[in-house]
Amino acid sequence: MSKKTKATLAEIIARKKQGEMDKLSVKYYDSEVLGTSIEVRKIPLKKFMSLVEDMEDEGDAVEGLDSMNKLIFEVCPMFREDTKEAMEIYGVKEPTDLPSAILEEQMNEMKDIVEIANTFYGLDKIEADIKKG
C-alpha cells in the first residue's frame, strides 16, 4: 500500500496555476488531403463532453457526421478562420460543415482528429483498457 501525502490548499492552488500554463494543450495532425499539419487544441471539458455526447446520441450517419464536424470545428482553430470566405468557396451553409468539406469528406482523417482530441482527456486510455479487458 503506497503512502499518500496530504496536499495543502496552497499547493493545490499552485498546481492549478501551473496547470493554467499547461492547459494550452496543442497537438498536430498531419493531413494527407491538405498536405499540411492541422492544429488540434484542448477545449474546456464541459464543452467537449457535450459534443461527444451529441456524437454518441446520433442515430444515423448524417447526424454523426454533423457531430464530428462540430467537434472538429471547435478543436481546430483553422476551421474558424475566414469562415465566410471558406463557406463560399466550399459551398457550405453552416460554418460547422467546413471540416468535412475542407478535408474532402475523408472520414479517416476526421476520425483521427477526433481521436487526437480524445487524448487530451484520457479517453484514449479508457478505450485501450476496454479493448484489453
In the predicted model, what is the mean pLDDT of the chain?
Answer: 84
Higher-scoring residue by pLDDT: 13, 108: 108
Q: Which range marks the domain in which residue 95 is found?
A: 9-125
Is 91 part of any domain? Answer: yes
DSSP string, 60-103: SHHHHHHHHHHHHHHH-GGGGSSHHHHHHHHT-SSGGGHHHHHT
Is 34 part of any domain? Answer: yes
Rounded to an integer, what distance in angstroms lies between the CA atom of residue 51 and that of residue 70?
7
Question: In angstroms, how far is the first alpha carbon of the chain from the final one?
Answer: 24
Note every long-range contact of 32-37, with CB atoms under 8 Å and residues 24 or more positions apart, other chains counting: 32/109, 33/103, 33/104, 33/106, 33/109, 34/102, 34/103
Instruction: Give the chain's count of helices (H) and strands (E).
Output: 7, 2
- At 85 the pLDDT is 95
- At 131 the pLDDT is 53
Is 131 part of any domain? Answer: no
Q: What is the CATH number of the domain that holds 49?
A: 3.30.2220
- At 111 the pLDDT is 94
- At 5 the pLDDT is 66
Is 57 part of any domain? Answer: yes
Is 133 part of any domain? Answer: no
Number of compact structural domains in the chain = 1
Is 17 part of any domain? Answer: yes
Q: What digits encode the pLDDT tens for the residues 7-49?
A: 788 777 777 666 655 556 899 999 999 999 999 999 999 999 9
Nearest Cα residue to 31 out of 128, 116, 133, 127: 116
Is 115 part of any domain? Answer: yes
What is the value of pTM for the model shown?
0.76
